[in-house]
Amino acid sequence: MQSLSTRHLLGIKDLTESDIHLILDTAKEFKEVINRPIKKVPSLRDITIANVFFENSTRTRLSFELAEKRLSADVVNFSASGSSVKKGETLLDTVNNILAMKVDMIVMRHSSPGAPHFLAKHIPANVVNAGDGTHEHPTQALLDSFSIRQKLGDVAGKRVAIIGDITHSRVALSNIFCLQKQGAEVMVCGPATLIPKHIDALGVRVSHDVREALNWCDVANVLRIQLERQQIKYFPSLREYSLYFGISKQMLDELDRPIVLMHPGPINRGVELTSDAADSPHSIILDQVENGVAVRMAVLYLLAQL
Instruction: Tell me which of 87, 102, 121, 197 is the catalytic residue.
Output: 87
The yes-or-no answer on residue 211 being catalytic is no
Minimum CB distance to ligand CP smaller for 137 or for 149: 137
The yes-or-no answer on residue 60 being catalytic is yes
The yes-or-no answer on residue 59 being catalytic is yes
Minimum CB distance to ligand CP smaller for 171 or for 186: 171
CA distance readout (Å), 261 to 21, 160, 218, 256, 273: 23, 10, 9, 15, 10
Closest approach, Cβ 221 to ligand CP, in A, equals 11
Closest approach, Cβ 297 to ligand CP, in A, equals 17
Question: Burial letters for 125-146: b for 16+ Cβ neighbours within 10 Å, e otherwise?
Answer: bbbbbbbbbbbbbbbbbbbbbb
Instruction: Tell me which of 60, 134, 139, 167 is the catalytic residue.
Output: 60
Nearest-5° Cα angle at 246, 245 to 250: 120
Amino acid at 183: G
Instruction: Tell me which of 8, 61, 135, 137 is the catalytic residue.
Output: 137
Minimum CB distance to ligand CP smaller for 145 or for 207: 145
Residue 138 near residue 132, CB atoms below 8 Å? no
E strands within 216-280?
A: 219-222, 260-262
Largest CA distance in the chain: 58
CA distance 59 to 53: 12
Binding site for ligand CP (CB under 6 A): 57-60, 131, 137, 140, 264-266
Minimum CB distance to ligand CP smaller for 191 or for 264: 264
The yes-or-no answer on residue 109 being catalytic is yes
User: For the chain, how many residues are written?
Assistant: 306
Instruction: Tell me which of 61, 70, 109, 181 is the catalytic residue.
Output: 109
Residues serving a catalytic function are: 59-60, 87, 109, 137
